[in-house]
A = this chain, B = another copy of it.
Amino acid sequence: MATQAGMIGITGTNARPSIAPTFGVENMLGTNPLTVGFPTDEDFPFMLDCATSITQRGKIEYYARMGQDTPAGMVIGNDGKPMTDSDEILKDLTAGKAALAPLGGIGDELAGYKGYGYATVVEVLSAALQAGSYLKMLNGAVDGKQAPYHLGHFFMAIDTEAFMGADSFRKTCGEILRELRASKKAPGEDRIYTAGEKEYMVWMERKDKGVPVGEAVQKEFIAMRDRYGLPYTFPFEQ
């Protein structure tokens, strides 16, 4: 919404506790995305929308379903060591016996304290401006029973018209992004992306053709329709 109005948008949310602080093993911080959008002179905005953990639970569920190990460094166990068994990780995350590592990884060697710092920034911006809930208050349970929990979000919009004008901003921003994409590739890589570019490409493909749905999911959709007796034909049935 901000970039469509020629503005810089900055937003984030706290979430169910998942990330362990640097030198800690307890799931304390949400995956806390710190999200920034810029208007550009291109067909799509710059849009960085990412968790401040290395990964989130959904990706580990994907590894588990594919029968793959989780790469070492994404998840820390109670013993302080990286965990890689995807099924075990999912169980231990639920039980509070494992936690996600912040961007930068476990410990301080590759600067995990920076990801931990940015996750903390998002936790504070999401909670402290509205005297809201934070950290373990977002566990979704009271006395072991499921309970509603109150996330906080924050939204910031900066009007580029108030500086050198929206056109000037769009142009400089676009040029930075084009120069990054045109820079020298690593051997074996044929493309450098900027944030939001892959998502835009996927959107261009799917906005007319729809989202590809695997056979197993197709069957679930059909079963659900039949269960509820809905008068609906799915595009994949045609």
Using a CB–CB cutoff of 8 Å, the interface residues on chain A facing chain B are 8, 20-26, 28-29, 34, 36, 38, 46, 48, 50-52, 54-55, 71, 73-74, 76, 78-80, 103-105, 109-111, 113-115, 117-118, 120-121, 123-125, 127-132, 134-136, 160, 163-164, 168-169, 172-173, 175-177, 179-181, 183-189, 191-195
Contacts and interface: CB of A to CB of B under 8 A. Distances in A.
Contacts of A172: 124, 127-128, 131-132, 134
Nearest to A101: B110
A76 B185 CA distance: 12
A180 B135 contact: yes
Nearest to A78: B184
A97 to B, nearest CB: 11
A189 B80 contact: yes
A50 B114 contact: yes
A24 B192 contact: yes
A123 to B, nearest CB: 6
| CB-based closest 8 A-B pairs | A80-B186, A128-B172, A26-B184, A23-B189, A48-B117, A129-B163, A26-B183, A117-B195
A137 to B, nearest CB: 10
Nearest to A195: B117
A191 to B, nearest CB: 7
A129 B160 contact: yes
Interface-centre pick from A117, A130, A187 (highest chain B CB count, 10 A): A117
Given A172-B131, A179-B28, A185 B103 contact: no
B111 A50 contact: yes
Contacts of A55: 111
B177 A120 contact: yes
B183 A24 contact: yes
Nearest to A156: B158
B74 A110 contact: yes
A193 to B, nearest CB: 7
